[in-house]
Amino acid sequence: MALLLDELRSADGAAEAGAQAWRLAEAMYPLCRSLTGAGVRATLDLIETQGGLPLQRTEVPSGTPVHDWEVPLEWNVRDAWIADAAGRRVVDFRAHNLHLMSYSVPVRRQMTLEELQPHLHSLPDRPDDIPYRTSYYREHWAFCLRHRDRERLGPGPYEVVVDSTLAPGHLTLAEFVVPGQSDDEILVHTHVCHPSLANDNLAGIAVAVELARALGRSRPRHTWRFIFAPGTIGSLTWLALRPQVLPRVRAGLVLGLLGDGAPLQYKRSRRGDTLTDRAAAHVLAGIEGARLLDFEPYGYDERQYGSPGFDLPVGRLTRSVNGGYPEYHCSADDMTLLRPQALAGALQALARLAQVLDGNRRLLNLSPFGEPRLGRRGLYRSTGGHAPGAFEHALLWVLSQSDGAHDLLAIAERARLPFEAIEAAAEALQQAGLLRDLAPDEPAPAFTIPGSQTPKGTPT
Amino acid sequence: MALLLDELRSADGAAEAGAQAWRLAEAMYPLCRSLTGAGVRATLDLIETQGGLPLQRTEVPSGTPVHDWEVPLEWNVRDAWIADAAGRRVVDFRAHNLHLMSYSVPVRRQMTLEELQPHLHSLPDRPDDIPYRTSYYREHWAFCLRHRDRERLGPGPYEVVVDSTLAPGHLTLAEFVVPGQSDDEILVHTHVCHPSLANDNLAGIAVAVELARALGRSRPRHTWRFIFAPGTIGSLTWLALRPQVLPRVRAGLVLGLLGDGAPLQYKRSRRGDTLTDRAAAHVLAGIEGARLLDFEPYGYDERQYGSPGFDLPVGRLTRSVNGGYPEYHCSADDMTLLRPQALAGALQALARLAQVLDGNRRLLNLSPFGEPRLGRRGLYRSTGGHAPGAFEHALLWVLSQSDGAHDLLAIAERARLPFEAIEAAAEALQQAGLLRDLAPDEPAPAFTIPGSQTPKGTPT
Amino acid sequence: MALLLDELRSADGAAEAGAQAWRLAEAMYPLCRSLTGAGVRATLDLIETQGGLPLQRTEVPSGTPVHDWEVPLEWNVRDAWIADAAGRRVVDFRAHNLHLMSYSVPVRRQMTLEELQPHLHSLPDRPDDIPYRTSYYREHWAFCLRHRDRERLGPGPYEVVVDSTLAPGHLTLAEFVVPGQSDDEILVHTHVCHPSLANDNLAGIAVAVELARALGRSRPRHTWRFIFAPGTIGSLTWLALRPQVLPRVRAGLVLGLLGDGAPLQYKRSRRGDTLTDRAAAHVLAGIEGARLLDFEPYGYDERQYGSPGFDLPVGRLTRSVNGGYPEYHCSADDMTLLRPQALAGALQALARLAQVLDGNRRLLNLSPFGEPRLGRRGLYRSTGGHAPGAFEHALLWVLSQSDGAHDLLAIAERARLPFEAIEAAAEALQQAGLLRDLAPDEPAPAFTIPGSQTPKGTPT
């Protein structure tokens, strides 16, 4: 059996992919991303050019209704600063794009420090870091700065300039689809709206790109769809844009925050027992320190996929969680936080997870009355008297449980064997004609004991 | 949101109610209660006069069939004693009403100690206490006395007098009903048949009276019905008397033994997962030392409510359990055992429990496709980038889970938030038009993804 | 209530039966059993003569198809040896029947040691023991010998003789049926194909014989069927032979390996929650050191009963498990390993297990509205005020739970009382007319609260 992403399963292959992901993140880091605008488009360009992943982009006009929301105006920034009387920029968007609150409306004004204070954000607890703030849905402007710098500001007056535009335009999202043998889909989503923040979420973007490229070279059973979109409004827009895809979604993952030193953490989908949840539990059980988290309705875009009207089987894979590391949402979340080997480890886990999500299925035992004779089919040792080996165990488990009520993952869990071993046994049995695939919604036929075949025994 | 019994939730309010309950118990203590008779009626009188609770009484004639039973003859006692040759009363009903076995038939006889012995009950292990004994269903008479006194009895002869009547009459039970917005009912039952025993069950009666009076001043969603009746035959009679109420019972509590120093103990209803059980688990989880007990078919009147033909969602709240404290069913269970602060603590817990039982309901998210925009409805902070607060968490949880499959209590449990926080969030969302109530038996409509609303995105 | 196998429940009775089982095993030990042939028939003869158990035998011709298999050729051995140049037998079937691999085809040849080596099996780790090997389904021959002896063999040449026949004949299986009040059946299966191996499985055979004989003297509720058959092909043949029995099987046990010093181990049936599984959990909970094992699709004939097409409620009772003791499948598994008290302990446990399997049933409370009056039916003490005793507890539990959804075993588990106590209470209540039996598949009628019987109470 050829495994789907064999290259990413090995330490060497994963290390190479991790290094490549790190370099892509580094290239994307300086861009000023937001919900909309040029920064998002430039990021998608880099994914295509440096990342080697061809994207299908969609531009959705401002004002388009998407369920309870609508696509916002497009925001772009040329420049922004606060300058003192000497014309020296004391806060400068060009130095760090976090200095300007995202979606700040244009302003050009002389102000005293006192007038300016309500428009300043800083972190007294982290005086050397610039906080990340947004005001997407209320027209407003503000600057973010290091608390240490803020305390040094004199009474002014200051020249305050936000040279931005907030105007009808588009929201940009992108997809990469790997067609599978089946139309049923597996989603991978990552948010592309954060400016110069490395772990949140250049890490998620870069890992998704590597995974997508590797899957693009393989022949999966399911159709895999990668979605790159701004947070919240991006997933909402995608959900509104692709209603025909939703009933075919079998599993899905939101990726983010995969580059720091924390162990992997999987957050369950809303239902808590979907294929994605079960597969993640199976794979993470084998990874040192990895943890499973219950669903909760805040976090990243799993909130939208898991809203009650959609209720899709979409979980989330991160290392640290949102709000769960000291550098979260401030300028300390930079490229020094991102470790190539953390990205590599995430890719290795995702390769195993992809195998389970893609390969899991139900099979039907075609010879269910007693064990079939495996020996004469070349699947069992001929000399009896000693214990069967691991492959024989896997064969027996697959035969025992393939009644339509158990998929391969359930069999692997009950047998306490790796999914890959169970899947390999299933393929051997299928080749021997002892199993057939059951379609996802196909009811399992009841086994009827063939009474008419009763042999004529001779009572004595 | 106005809480139902706000006054009882505060330490001060509960303390005042606890003190009042203690004084009512003290007034009821001397009366000789039994299954029937004047003592029960006098107790109900005190509930109305001193307790300030107007009661609806029902007198059911002796001989009335109630399911497998029938209402017994009415028993009343004028006097009873054992006097020695000198005419000195060595056992005297007027000194303590426990001296006479409940339902003792009349007798007037000269007897030696030897003849008298089969008619005497005492407790060798507790020589200073008078035991409590009854013979409701076999015509018999007996005296109960301190073992120390029994040992001092000479050979006699004695004059033995039970000046009682056991004759056709009535069984008396009383109800207090607080009409709610809905006809669905919540029951509170307590037994009123025990003579001078303080914790069992003047404590339960007095707490029920305080709770009932407080509820009477409020506007509950459900109709609350308080039942004061003798043990076993009283609940059986009520069950036979009110068949039309039974299908509308949503929850219920038997109250008893709430005045001693033991922590609160809730005994589950027969099914073990009813609303009452879930609410009690939620509330008691926050009370130091409180415990949950499994249902068992002995104890107080929860036995009858939980018999298989009725199978009502009625649990039981006590401190000590029946048989579970040294003073149980003997004269040591007197007013010194009853602590005002224990009664107050029970009332505080019951106020929270009443809030959950009364307020729990299912709501339906009317904007289930993605999160609705809370900001524009004034329910969410406008500046993004930092973590949401507790109220916002509660809003998101209620929206996420209001699909008809989860009631507010289930949401509170999953969110690990107090019921009151979830209910407040639900009311805010309902006022914003984002939720509507689901009737108790209303099936939740399936959410249909609106494919026709697909926005026109422009692929590029 | 008369218990089914009272004689086997006492220590003395079990010890006597254990000693008898040991003597039967000793008599069967020398015989050369295999899948088919004279050894199996001689074993069945001993069960009838020495064991005192009349059997119903069935001879099934070679070639008969049984599901995916067919009945093999019959194998018989007259003699087999390896002799050195001096004519001295260096390996001799007559010395120990394990020396010849089971189902070895005839051979008569001069061979060097080098030519012979591929036909020799020994255990380097256990140099003093002869291994047990079979080649049922590939035509082959081999000798098994002590590794110490193998190392002493010179270069040869050797005369190698297997004087066996492998020819059309029959597979022999035997049944013993105890008719019950009901046609529903409980199966007990044990394999009879192993040659001179004591624990595997003369222990299982001998215990089954004792249990069967004791049951034959009793009047069980269910029909009990004991099956003595060769491993795998024997159970497959029986399953093909008796399709009409299969839908009536309510429970079943495979017995084996019951004679060594290990504690009892019960392996669950495939479904894991069948009556057999629940009964074994109940009984083994009271036996020091006893363990429950999950189902897995290898082991003994429970594999076939539990194959997905049959999925019968058949578990397995052993002490050591297959492969789980050092003497397993080699000549060290001899009569010195078999302890009479181990066989006795197994019989004692089986007597309790049989009581549960046979006696478990659902009953319907005919007086479900409140507790019925037990006192007037002589089932309850007349003087109230103190705690009920164990029998009264059992009565109340049975009444509380006899709604059709709980069988006696479920009631015993919930009440934390022994099954026998619950069954005795049920019989007392049934005699009092308070319960009736529910047939296995009879739906429980819903209890309808009799509203028309409402007594006329007088509101005052």
Label residue B428 by pLDDT band (50, 70, 90): very high
Q: Does C451 touch chain B (CB under 8 A)?
A: yes
Contacts of A308 in chain B (CB under 8 A): 365, 368, 399-403, 447
Mutation target for A interface from C48, C59, C67, C101: give the one with most A CBs within 10 A: C67
Chain B: touching chains (3 or more CB pairs < 8 Å): A, C
Contact yes or no for A210/A21 (Cβ under 8 A): yes
Angstroms from A292 CA to nearest CA on chain C: 26
Question: Given pLDDT bands bounded at 50, 70 and 90, which one contains residue C266?
Answer: very high
Can you tell me the distance from the alpha carbon of B174 to that of B189, in angstroms, rounded to the nearest whole number?
A: 10
Q: How far off is chain B from A185, nearest CA to CA, in Å? A: 17
Whether the per-residue pLDDT at A460 is higher than 70: the answer is: no
Which residue in B44, B67, B239, B246 has the most chain C C-beta atoms within 10 A of its own C-beta, making it the best mutation to test that interface?
B67
| Nearest Cβ partner for B457 among A69, A241, A270 | A241
Closest Cα to residue A39, out of A241, A228, A238?
A: A228
pLDDT digits 0-9 by tens, B284-334:
999 999 999 999 999 999 999 999 999 999 999 999 999 899 999 999 999
Taking only the tens place, the pLDDT of each residue in C71-129 is 999 999 999 999 999 999 999 999 999 999 999 999 999 999 999 999 999 999 999 99
Q: How far is C451 from chain B (nearest CA, A)?
A: 5
pLDDT score at C1: 60
Of C399, C451, C458, the CB nearest to B244: C451
Q: Give residue C273's pLDDT.
A: 97
* The token pair that represents A367 in the structure block: 């010879």
A365, A396, A449 ranked by CB distance to C298: nearest:
A396
Q: Do B60 and C365 touch (CB under 8 A)?
A: no
| 8 A C-beta contact, residue A25 and residue A206 | yes
Q: Which chains touch A (3 or more CB pairs under 8 A)?
A: B, C
A64-78, B202-216, B434-448, C376-390: which range is least confident on average?
Answer: C376-390
Cα(B338)–Cα(B318) distance, integer angstroms: 13
Residues of C in contact with A367 (CB under 8 A): 67-68
C372, amino acid identity: P
Q: How confident is the model at residue C453 (pLDDT cuts 50, 70, 90)?
A: very low
Sequential DSSP letters for C400-431: HHTEEEEEHHHHHHHHT--HHHHHHHHHHHHH
Residue C389: per-residue pLDDT: 81
**For position A137, what pLDDT does the model report?**
86
Separation CA B45–CA B39 (nearest Å):
10
Contact across the interface for C449 and B309, Cβ inside 8 Å: yes
What does the pLDDT read at residue A3?
A: 84
Select from C60, C134, C310 the Cβ nearest to the Cβ of A449. Answer: C310
| Per-residue pLDDT tens over the stretch A282-340 | 999 999 999 999 999 999 999 999 999 999 999 999 999 998 999 999 999 999 999 99
Q: Does B375 touch chain A (CB under 8 A)?
A: yes
Q: Cβ separation of B370 and A69 shorter than 8 Å?
A: yes
Nearest CA in chain A to C71: A455
Residues of B in contact with C382 (CB under 8 A): 135, 137-138, 140
Substitution target from B449, B452, B458 for chain A, most A beta carbons within 10 A:
B449
| Residue B45 CB contacts under 8 Å (≥ 6 apart), including other chains | none
Q: Which chain B residues have a beta carbon less than 8 Å from that of A325?
A: none
Q: Is B307 on the interface with C (CB under 8 A)?
A: yes
**What is the chain A residue with the closest CA to C243?**
A451
Q: Which residues of B touch C459 (CB under 8 A)?
A: 56-58
pLDDT surpassing 90 at residue B226: yes
| C441 annotated among ligand-binding-site residues | no
In angstroms, the CA C436 to CA C445 distance is 12
The domains of chain C, with CATH numbers, are 6-72+170-359 (3.40.630.10), 76-167 (3.50.30.90), 362-381+388-438 (1.10.10.10)
Query: Residue C58: closest CA among chain A residues belongs to which residue?
Result: A459
Q: What is the per-residue pLDDT for C452?
A: 46
User: Any known ligand binding at C329?
Assistant: yes
Helices (H), A81-131: 113-116
Tell whether A141 lies on the interface with C, counting CB pairs under 8 A.
no
Chain C contact for A429 (CB, 8 A cutoff): no
Tokens of A102: 């995202």
Whether residue B370 and residue A67 make contact (CB cut-off 8 A), yes or no, is: yes
CB contact under 8 A, C309 and A369: yes
Name every chain B residue with its beta carbon within 8 A of the beta carbon of C396. 297-298, 303
Beta bridge partners of B362: B407, B438
Q: Which residues of B are part of a known binding site?
A: 194, 200, 329
Shortest Cα–Cα distance, A133 to chain B (Å): 5
Q: pLDDT tens for residues A398-444?
A: 999 999 999 999 999 999 999 999 999 999 999 999 999 999 889 98
Say how far apart CA A5 and CA A354 lie, in whole Å.
8
Residue type at position B403: D
From B241, B303, B308, residue closest to C365, measured CB to CB: B308
What pLDDT shows up at residue B205? Answer: 98
What is the spatial distance between Cα C204 and Cα C225, in angstroms, rounded to a whole number? Answer: 15
Q: What residue has token string 């040192």?
A: A288
pLDDT tens for each residue of A204-214: 999 999 999 99
The whole-number average pLDDT for the span C277-287 is 97
Residue A194 in marked binding region: yes
pLDDT, tens only, C307-354: 999 999 999 999 999 999 999 999 999 999 999 999 999 999 999 999
Would you state the structure tokens that stand for residue A321, as one six-digit string? 């969680």
Q: What is the mean pLDDT of chain B?
A: 95
Instruction: Kindly determine whether residue B137 and residue C393, on different chains, have CB atoms separated by under 8 Å.
Output: no
Instruction: Please tell me which residue of chain B has the smallest CA distance to C395.
Output: B297
Chain B to chain C Cβ contacts (< 8 Å): 124
Which positions ≥6 away from C295 have C-beta within 8 Å?
C267, C268, C269, C270, C272, C302, C306
* Residue-level pLDDT at C382: 61
3-state secondary structure of B258: coil
Of residues B60 and A458, the one with the higher pLDDT is B60
pLDDT in tens, B359-415: 999 999 999 999 999 988 988 776 666 666 889 999 999 999 999 999 999 999 999
For an interface test with B, the pick among A270, A298, A314, A321 (most B C-beta atoms closer than 10 Å) comes out as A298
Partner residue opposite B460 with nearest CB, options A59, A307, A308? A59
List binding-site positions of B for Zn(2+). 194, 200, 329
User: pLDDT band for position A456 (50/70/90)?
Assistant: low
Do residues C256 and C204 make contact, with C-beta atoms less than 8 angstroms apart?
A: yes
What's the pLDDT score for residue C383? 64
The minimum CA-CA distance between A361 and chain B, rounded to whole Å, is 27
Quick one: average pLDDT of C21-42? 98
Q: Write down the pLDDT at residue A387.
A: 63
Q: Assess contact for B290 and B264: CB atoms under 8 A.
A: yes
Specify the pLDDT at position B460: 55
Q: What is the mean pLDDT of residues C199-204?
A: 97
pLDDT for B3: 84
**Residues 6+ positions from C442 with CB-CB distance below 8 Å:** C404
Q: Is the peptide bond before A54 cis (omega within 30 degrees of 0)?
A: no
Would you tell me how many other CB atoms lie within 10 Å of the CB of residue B271? Answer: 14
Q: Does B155 touch chain A (CB under 8 A)?
A: no
pLDDT tens per residue, range A133-183:
999 988 999 999 999 999 999 998 999 999 999 999 999 999 999 999 999
The answer to whether residue B388 neighbours chain A at the CB level (below 8 Å) is yes
pLDDT tens-digit profile of B76-117? Answer: 999 999 999 999 999 999 999 999 999 999 999 999 999 999
Chain A and chain B share a number of CB contacts under 8 A equal to 123
Predicted local confidence at residue A453, as pLDDT: 47
With an 8 Å Cβ cutoff, are A310 and B369 in contact? yes
- Dihedral sign of CA atoms B50, B52, B54, B58 in order: negative
Look at residue B1 in the predicted model and tell me its pLDDT.
Answer: 60
